[in-house]
Chains A and B, each alone.
Chain A
Amino acid sequence: MDFLQLGSYTFSSRLILGTGKFSNTTVMLEAVKASGAQLVTVALRRFNRDQLADDLFSPLKALPGVTLMPNTSGASTGAEAVRAAHIARELSGSSFIKVEIHPNPQHLMPDPIETYEACRILAREGFLVMPYISADPVLAKRLEEVGCASVMPLGSAIGSGQGLATAEMLNLIIRESNIPVIVDAGLRSPSEAALAMEMGCAAVLVNSAVAVSENPPEMAEAFSEAVAAGRKAFKAGLMPKSSSAIATSPLTAFLGANP
């Protein structure tokens, strides 16, 4: 079998699903089931007695084979992210933490300095640290060196649907990395997820593309199939590119040709 290895955890699915932006919890749960995702992200929020349906812990924990990966969304500094990680671990019971520190709501780009510092602390404390980062090969390597379980560079801005705008940098990160590279953010279509996998990404994380589609469970399944196809193609090995045509059929001894 071809498993995704993150710390001591193994997953047969290479699609990680976010749980934000769905129209309601029922649709989100159907999408998670249809996606086959075994790792799903959640965010910490204040309890609101008027919005009890926002509490996703029980419904997600009831899904067999699903592990929660809390994120630190809302943190704008490393210290806030570390604090959020400690609280999240109390709730989730798992050591997964998606470190997400974006101080500017206009573009939601991750702060590399605060992210590095938070990851360094959390990895030392035994968390399975999954940092959301810009597609920066140098930062990715530094995060690997401090003990992150993976790096999660963005394909493009969160929720933008701009796809793999960072493809060249992603290639550099994949080439240099000894830990799983997971494209997080910006994907719009299953074909982009397949392409990311063909490039050698270990997994993709998708949220908006599924949640705001007209039929989230169907789109979740489409992403699942695309990720599986892309992974299979990567493992099979893509043919080399050529700048000129190379015939697939014999061009000699055709009917009526001179001997």
Chain B
Amino acid sequence: MITIELNGKQQTLPPGSAINDLLSIIGSDGNTVAIVVNDRIIRPDKRSTHLLQDADRVEILVFAGGG
């Protein structure tokens, strides 16, 4: 298993997990989220091929209420 930091908390994943695998695990269809891995934005067309590595810092962001 690998351990990543997801939105500031530790998350374990099977080695070779892509971003889409992570989205499935957390229950997001991925349509309304932005993904940032180690400060780089990962576009939707790269999510199935971008493999996560041990110690990656992943941010998954949504639009919430704000003024």
Contact = CB atoms under 8 A, between A and B. Distances in A.
Interface in A215-229: none
A28 B28 CA distance: 23
Contact of B66 (A43, A86, A185): A43
Interface stretch (A16-24, A136-144, A163-171, A238-246): A16-24
Nearest to A25: B65
Contacts of A71: 66-67
B38 interface: no
Indicate the size class of the contact surface on chain A. 35 or more
A55 B8 CA distance: 19
Interface string A25-66: 000100000000000011111111100101111101000000
Given A20-B67, A56-B62, A68-B63, 4 more contacts: A21-B67, A42-B63, A47-B7, A55-B64
B55 interface: no
Interface of B: 7-8, 26-28, 31-34, 36, 39, 41, 43, 59-67
Given A46-B8, A46-B59, A49-B27, A90 B64 contact: no
B4 to A, nearest CB: 14
Given A46-B7, A47-B7, A49-B26, A87 B63 contact: no
A199 interface: no
A70 interface: yes
B66 A47 contact: no
A73 interface: yes
A19 B67 contact: yes
A70 B63 contact: yes
A92 B26 contact: no
25 contacts: A18-B66, A19-B65, A19-B66, A19-B67, A28-B65, A42-B65, A43-B67, A44-B34, A44-B61, A45-B62, A46-B59, A47-B33, A47-B62, A55-B62, A56-B63, A56-B65, A57-B62, A60-B63, A71-B66, A87-B34, A87-B61, A91-B33, A92-B63, A205-B67, A207-B67
A52 B27 CA distance: 10
Contacts of B26: 47, 49
A60 B64 CA distance: 10
A10 to B, nearest CB: 23
Nearest to B26: A49
Contact of B65 (A21, A88, A90, A91): A21
A57 B33 CA distance: 9
Contacts of B34: 44, 87-88, 90-91
